[in-house]
Structure 1
Amino acid sequence: MKKSKLSNRLKAGVITKGWWLLSLLPLAWLQALAVPIGSLVWRFVKRERNIAKVNLSLCFPELSQEERDVLGKQSIIEITRTMLEMGRMWMAPKEKVLADFVSLQGIEAVEEANKNKQPIILLGPHIGQWELIAQLMSHKTNFTFMYSEPKLAELDATIRKGRCRMGGNLVPANIKGVAGLLKALKRGEMIGILPDQVPDKGQGGEIVPFYGQPALTATLLPKLVQKTGAKVFTALAKRLPKGRGFELILIPADEQVYSDDEVTAVAGVNASVEQIIAYAPEQYQWAYKRFKSVPGKNVYKK
């Protein structure tokens, strides 16, 4: 047991030092470094490649296999960029990180709602550099979002410090955390939700279409909307070429999310995710089993 704890502390120390070293590199270098690493992952990590291939075949049947493979490989490279950029997001000077945004599209509507104490829910799917969105919103206003402890518990303090350094508020990914989100909304504040994560058993979900395919989707958003009258937006920190920075894109969520019918509202969540993916499909995390947990069907089993 003692050896295990020591080993975990050493692992956490190495990872933390790695993040710090990466935080010193220019953004363009980080993103360039991801190209050979991501290409190797695509070629040799069968699990990630196969998941991406299945997802893309289901979501974009109109594309040829070659076109889907190009999209899948680029997605793996973009995910690698996201991971390499984490040290920068959490440890580089604050002003340097905030300056990574070179344009803010659609932020006026969000700022206006926030100014009027209108509760706001920000949907942040796994696309682009989602960590940067949390940093910006935490800097601008009271921003609360859910957090799950890492598998390597010794990294918890480092990640919490990084995610909260702009003033963000973390709540646990459980019933207590949901209560925290509800309280923040009732105070007229902004919260962030991951809309494309498959809910665990007992967390509440409905099977609704995602790109026309049945996908178990969390019911948390419509429940919060119905209880608070919150306004919902979908967000993307779109990575620009050659390390030029990021473009923040904020768009109103699909109108279905405000429906009194929960199934319709949950379908609106997926429609909102599809709308934001259209801005940069190659930057979406296609190597995630989005279509798991559908009864009687396992699309990932060969």
Structure 2
Amino acid sequence: MLMTRLFLLLARWPLWALHALGWLGGWVVWLASPTYRRRWWAHTRLAGLRGRARWASVGAAGQQVAELPRLWFGPPVPVGWEGAAHIDAALAQGRGVLFLTPHLGCFEVTPRAYAERFGTHAPITVLYRPSRQAALDALLQRARRRPGMAAAPTTLAGVRQLMHALRRGEAVGLLPDQVPPEGLGVWAPFFGRPAYTMTLAARLAQQPGVQVLLAWGERLPWGRGYVVHVQPWAQVMDAPLAADPAQAAAQINGAMERLIARAPSQYLWGYARYKSPRALR
């Protein structure tokens, strides 16, 4: 498969070269796609993002794509930690740990870094959306198979897989700002605009004994690697998660907003966050 060969070739590149290529690619897509550009303008304006951080997000979006071959199939990348002690404390209690990560920075590095450091003690299962193209889906599954890390598809079987992992005292990771299928979400504000938001994150968080940690992978400049930031829910949000699904979804969106505010230039503002499931249009 041509795509697999390309990924294996790019996996040998140094990280700085991939980030340079990605920066260029991000601007090419921004200039070439009016639809993408309009969405980026609307989302950054809604969030009040201006100046240097706003423009830097164009190249950062391309970097997020270009670094994937190295992360999936290449040698390990340098990763530092801020807040790893929170993971140690959570795992020491022997209960399930739920990581919530927005489309911020390098969200692919977070579960991989966890698997390398903590996976032998408590593996992590990450939720992913299968591709409609069989060849690409096979590539994604291959990329996400590694010691200490498993992947669960966005299906009922995948949700059960996540539930079982938490009950075994393992870790689960997902992107709560990913638009869910019809019937699996509620409308909740995100930067002041209603966004169809998954209820799964709150359902998992409310399982008995589950501890919620917020995490994101900061991309360092000049290919120097990444820093994984970890914070407990209580450090980011003032109130515990509500029992009502709509209120809980709004709280989780608020938590994601606060994480994004730490590095707005690394958020994927071009992501179609406010789209509706097809059947609801």
TM-score normalised by L of structure 1: 0.84
2 CA distance for matches of 1:132 and 1:225?
22
1:247 has 2:227 as partner: yes
1:41 offset after TM fit, Å?
Answer: 1.7
2 CA distance for matches of 1:255 and 1:122?
18
Q: What residue identity is the alignment partner of 2:47?
A: C
1:272 offset after TM fit, Å?
Answer: 1.3
1:255 offset after TM fit, Å?
Answer: 5.0
1:52 has 2:40 as partner: yes
Change (3 A) 1:256 1:293: farther
1:150 has 2:131 as partner: yes
Q: Deviations over 1:246-282 (max 9, x none)?
A: 1111122335452223222111110111111112101
Task: Trace 1:124-135 onto structure 2 (pairs within 5 A).
Answer: 124-135=101-112
Q: What residue identity is the alignment partner of 1:234?
A: L
Indicate the SS of the match to 1:24: coil
1 CA distance for matches of 2:228 and 2:93?
22
Deviates more, 1:147-156 or 1:45-54: 147-156
TM-score normalised by L of structure 2: 0.90
Aligned residues of 2:22 and 2:65 also touching (Cα < 8 A): no
2 CA distance for matches of 1:74 and 1:151?
31
Residue number in structure 2 paired with 1:190: 171
2 CA distance for matches of 1:213 and 1:252?
26
Q: What residue identity is the alignment partner of 1:111?
A: D
Size of the aligned set, in residue pairs, is: 272
Change (3 A) 1:82 1:90: same
Residue number in structure 1 paired with 2:68: 86
1:208 has 2:185 as partner: no
Q: What residue identity is the alignment partner of 1:243?
A: G
Aligned residues of 2:189 and 2:253 also touching (Cα < 8 A): yes
Question: Whose Rg is larger?
Answer: 1
Q: Deviations over 1:200-248 (max 9, x none)?
A: 1122x22221112221211112212223331111111101111111111
1 CA distance for matches of 2:239 and 2:30?
36
Q: Deviations over 1:127-182 (max 9, x none)?
A: 11111112112222210112222232113333212212233111221111111111
Residue number in structure 2 paired with 1:37: 25
Aligned residues of 1:257 and 1:269 also touching (Cα < 8 A): no
2 CA distance for matches of 1:280 and 1:168?
27
Q: What residue identity is the alignment partner of 1:292?
A: K
Residue number in structure 2 paired with 1:170: 151
Fraction of identical pairs, as percent: 33
2 CA distance for matches of 1:47 and 1:73?
17
Q: What residue identity is the alignment partner of 2:259?
A: I
Question: Given the alignment, which residue of 16, 32, 38 partners 1:28?
Answer: 16
Change (3 A) 1:256 1:18: farther
Change (3 A) 1:257 1:157: farther
Change (3 A) 1:48 1:72: farther
1:110 has 2:63 as partner: no
Higher helix content, 1 or 2: 1
1 CA distance for matches of 2:245 and 2:239?
10
Note the residue ranges of structure 1 that are not aligned, 5 or more in a row: 1-12
Change (3 A) 1:37 1:171: closer
